[in-house]
Structure 1
Amino acid sequence: MQIDIYDFDKTIVPFDSGSLFFMYCMIHYPWCIIILPIVAVAGLLLGLGLIGFTEFKRTCYLYLPMIPTEKAVKKFWDKYINKVHPWFLERKRYSIIISASPDFLLEEIANRLKVDELICSRHNRKTGVIIGKNCRAEEKVRRLYEMHKPEDLEVMDVYSDSYRHDKYIFSLAQNQCYHIEHSKKVPFNYKDVYSD
């Protein structure tokens, strides 16, 4: 099966959806600000290298039990769906989004955009706590091949805003890699960017 792979944040949309949803909830459900000191401490520990990014993300969605999550997500995407880049709507092949953002946030927009498949970070919907590893870097490829046998896929094009974090999915492209810059698709040759 021929497929195209897309990152989501700053690729299909020009923002980080998890961070923007966090701010959206702090504004629309202001009682959630009580978790800010916990997130701030976790951010400090992350900056000092005392915890990893997955551990940091365990604190980021602790406000979920305090909000009507499904309703909040729908209203969030009602507001921001118009920010989806028009070029994404013109896709032709089977499309798989692979993202570090949470499942409870991306499932709604993936359904609205009629994406064929979504792979992202899993979260407990009641507590907000991340389940397993954060779906970034090498984990994206591992999760893809958890769902599909490598021999069953022919990865054609790969799209992402991050040379640094998405080297691993870029390496799968058999046709073209696209780096997203200022919302535009910029084609590049994998071997020109990566030395391995």
Structure 2
Amino acid sequence: MDKLAIFDVDYTITKKETLMQLYKYVVLKDIKNIRFLPRALYSGAMYKIGFYDEKRVKESFLKFIDKIHEDDLLKLVKNFYGDVLEKILYEDAINMMKKLKGQGYKIYLISASPEFYLNEFYAIKEVDMIIGTKFSIENKMFMRKMNGENCKGEEKVRRLKEVLKEKNIEVDYKNSYMFSDSLSDKPLLDLVGNAYLINYKKKSNFEILKWK
């Protein structure tokens, strides 16, 4: 049986929220992309008052790369990782991955962020599997249409078990680990025997780790 060390991404292994970092990166590359900012702010406001769910917010927000060719998207996210993402990683998160990998654990990243750029985290040699929110590619063009559900909460558990079933992997959950910054990941935190909240500022029944 495999033992897993599961990590959320945003604010767990990274110091900042990655999707917003992608938008800022695209704006810096071409200031004309600032025109999508009002849409982003509007979508966020609609979410806060309950008119939009997270799926609709993300589909709306990603207008700034809508219909980009998949080859251009691959180049964009590769550069995004090198220029931004790898510079905002918590050193303590990477050290934990290295430690647990050395103890025979499989390292899984499971996040609600889009999988099309999360896949760049395979550059971290310890990472075995990445599961994120999927978006559609049609006729080799990126479509801001979510493929399936937003990978959050119970959906993370469903997606994990789906991948494990496909790969015929049995897991020793009692001795596995889960790290997250948020109680939105309680379904995954409850799944394992070793669950930790990262830089959490409230009281919790889960042990809290301070990562830098």
Question: Aligned to 1:165, which of 175, 178, 184?
Answer: 184
**Counterpart position of 2:130:** 118
The answer as to 2:89 corresponding to 1:84 is yes
CA contact (8 A) 1:99 1:136 kept: yes
**Counterpart position of 1:185:** none
**Counterpart position of 1:10:** 11
The percentage of aligned residue pairs carrying the same residue is: 27
The answer as to 2:169 corresponding to 1:154 is no
Seen in structure 2, the aligned counterparts of structure 1 residues 76 and 189 have a Cα distance that, compared at 3 Å, is same
TM-score, normalised relative to structure 2: 0.78
Please give the secondary structure, in 1, of the residue aligned with 2:179.
strand
Please give the secondary structure, in 2, of the residue aligned with 1:4.
strand
**Counterpart position of 1:45:** 46
Seen in structure 2, the aligned counterparts of structure 1 residues 55 and 32 have a Cα distance that, compared at 3 Å, is same
How many residue pairs get matched? 184
1:127-146 matches, within 5 Å, as 127-146=143-162
Amino acid at match of 1:172: L
CA contact (8 A) 1:119 1:144 kept: yes
Distance of 2:169 and 2:145 partners within structure 1: 34
CA contact (8 A) 1:170 1:177 kept: yes
Please give the secondary structure, in 2, of the residue aligned with 1:95.
strand
CA contact (8 A) 1:63 1:128 kept: no
Runs of 5+ in structure 2 lacking a partner?
Answer: none
CA offset digits 1:87-108 (Å, max 9, x no partner): 3242311011110010111101
Distance of 2:48 and 2:199 partners within structure 1: 26
**Counterpart position of 2:36:** 35
Select between 59-68 and 4-13 the one with higher mean Cα deviation.
59-68
Distance of 1:104 and 1:38 partners within structure 2: 21
CA offset digits 1:136-166 (Å, max 9, x no partner): 111100111111249811231110111x211
Distance of 1:29 and 1:128 partners within structure 2: 20
